[in-house]
A and B are shown apart, each in its own frame.
Chain A
Amino acid sequence: MTVSDLDPRLVGDQPGLAGAWVSFRRRLAQGELGTLPVIVGIAVIWAIFWLANDRFLTPGNLTNLLLQLAGVGTISIGVVLVLLLGEIDLSVGALSGFAAAVMAVLNVKQGWPGWLAILAGLATGVIIGAFQGFWVTRFRIPAFVVTLAGLLAWTGALLLVLGETGTVNITDGTIIGLTSTFFIPLDAWLLAVFVIVAYTAEKLWERRRRVAAGLPVPPVQILVTRIVVIAVALLVTAAVLAADRGLPLVLLIFVGLVVLVDLLIKRTRFGRHVLAVGGNAEAARRAGIQVDNVRLVVFTLASTLAAAGGILAASRLFAVNQSSGASDTLLNAIAAAVIGGTSLFGGRGSAYSALLGGLVILSIQNGMNLLGVASSTKFLVTGGVLLLAATVDALSRRGRQAAGRA
């Protein structure tokens, strides 16, 4: 008897491309949607806005879209981490504003060099995250409440730090350079090609190891399809960027963080523990995982990413003011993570949610700005999209439960 000695009632994956297609359709039917709905969503949204205003899909506008995405997207990466635990962090918006204000005030009013002020802003995130995480784990107060208190407190701290003036304009080259630095168009192409080659090499290496170990490998057509899809996406992005100002540094930072955090979640011991705590905290505890430490580190990471997002946003706007990180920053960051497919119920999701969900949210806002839609309508539409995404999550969870996969 072997592991592959199947119970005939179990549905296994048939070999070959046709089998993979059948399994893919079955997974869809059972609610394992992956990134498919969000990619379809982006395509639909882009098509609608392009029909309404053909300036939407110009390289200039798409580059602006990506610049806007970087700030809120970076905050959203942290939200993904917290959601994976099955927790929530409501303080990320206010914190992003506060951290940016700390950076701006130290740089402008205290004369700290740009890089040091940026580090101080990030450190603010680290300290606040550790503080909130400590409160959640030590006193067993729901994260919802602790971070709600944080939302209020850091909003107050922002006003306090900004003082009388209310607005601090940033002129420091290092800070502004985060957003206004563009690598020459050729770099976008070179980077795209490099990433494709690296990705292919990694996949082939992994495949060879699996074959050497006698483990099953997916059909080669699947691998080729994946590589082609990723290559096309990267090359199109490179073409769009090259047609405008080139590859923005801020995009490199944001996407780099997405890739890093994805690696952290999927390929490291810590990431595995985060998923385990989100899936079944008691099981994680019994497996010897220091559950409270995992929570503490995740809240610290989330706050640090929020601070980074606030700094990127300040760099794009050349200023920090009393409404930095206020109003829709928090909601956009959470909505992006959820729309991107990270479950609100913990244990399921990916760092790429921040990228894809952020694209949905910002495409809608950017498109409606182009059309000159009133902000009342923008809130209504964004709210509707969030509700839709959360419904897809809840329904697919129900589908998984019906299929015994929840």
Chain B
Amino acid sequence: MADGTPLLELRGVNKRFGAVQALTDVDFEAHPGRVTALVGDNGAGKSTLIKTIAGINPMDAGEYRFDGRPVQVSTPQAATALGIATVYQDLALCDNLDVVANLYLGREELGAVRLLDETDMEQEASKVLKRLAVRIPSVRTLIASLSGGQRQGVAIARSMLGEPKVVMLDEPTAALGVAQTAQVLDLIRTLRDQGLAVVVISHNLADVFAVADTIVVLRLGRQVGVLDAKQIDSDEVVAAITGAKAGDEQQPTEVSEP
């Protein structure tokens, strides 16, 4: 398990949507230079938890600590300001704009007389894509003509432009082919090696075991296990996800606090 203070730490998170208690007393933490996978069945609360961290659905009750300090994150801007970047499953790219325009969407750089500084943005975009080893025909290609893996790469590269400390990826390998999945997993390792705390939601346990250091299991809105990816096998994770065996028995360290 990870040592030291977690970069991102949530304690006792509760979130309710009308009659549905989406999250109950969930604890979660992410450490720099480590990949934390968030797994669980449909409706387990994975996306809700991510959205809580990203400030889209502020929590009803619970504690949010960043770098050891308690913080209030009730808007996406607050999360971004802390250095938390999120790449959603639908990527949120504009098909009608090119790669550079998408990377800089919402934070365009201005040059002389407040016009867009295309040269500067193109140069920076090339650099960040190169650093992440994202392969695309040209940074002036429209998003519409990129493959799924390339789009994922562009979306991740965009999250990197804000120089975040935490990157959260929602189902980054869903709907990707074998080669493209490998590309994205490589990208996740690159992020980890650059010292970021990476959080990955995935349904695909093979992908999870390929990159994760820690696996956090959610079931029906409760956190039922924090597992060391090196010490368990996928049967145990499946058991924790489905509740076939009590996942809590495998929980090595964490105890939910009220």
Contact = CB atoms under 8 A, between A and B. Distances in A.
A3 B135 contact: yes
Contacts of A278: 96
B101 A283 contact: no
Counting chain A residues whose Cβ lies within 8 A of the other chain, the interface size class is: 35 or more
Contacts of A280: 92-96
A289 B115 CA distance: 17
A400 B145 CA distance: 9
Contact of B119 (A2, A4, A6, A206): A206
Interface stretch (A71-79, A267-275, A330-338, A377-385): A267-275
B97 A406 contact: no
A350 to B, nearest CB: 13
Nearest to B104: A272
B77 interface: yes
A286 B144 contact: no
A283 B90 CA distance: 9
A3 B126 contact: yes
Which among B80, B93, B106, B116 has the greatest number of chain A C-beta atoms within 10 A? Answer: B106
B145 A405 contact: yes
Interface residues of B, number: 38
Given A279-B95, A279-B96, A283-B92, A269 B137 contact: no
A206 to B, nearest CB: 7
A289 B105 CA distance: 8
Contact of A406 (B91, B95, B114, B136): B95
A280 B77 CA distance: 20
A346 B93 CA distance: 15
A214 to B, nearest CB: 7
Q: Is the interface of A mostly helix, strand, loop or mixed?
A: loop
Given A10-B137, A284-B105, A2 B144 contact: no
Interface of B: 76-77, 80, 88, 90-97, 101, 105-108, 110, 114-116, 119-120, 122-123, 126, 129-130, 133-139, 142, 144-145
26 contacts: A3-B138, A4-B138, A11-B137, A214-B123, A216-B138, A263-B115, A267-B115, A269-B108, A272-B105, A272-B108, A272-B116, A275-B94, A279-B96, A279-B97, A280-B92, A280-B96, A283-B93, A283-B105, A284-B94, A286-B76, A286-B88, A286-B92, A287-B92, A288-B76, A288-B107, A404-B144
By Cβ-Cβ distance, the 10 closest A-B pairs, closest first, are A287-B106, A279-B96, A347-B96, A279-B94, A283-B92, A288-B106, A287-B105, A405-B144, A267-B115, A10-B137
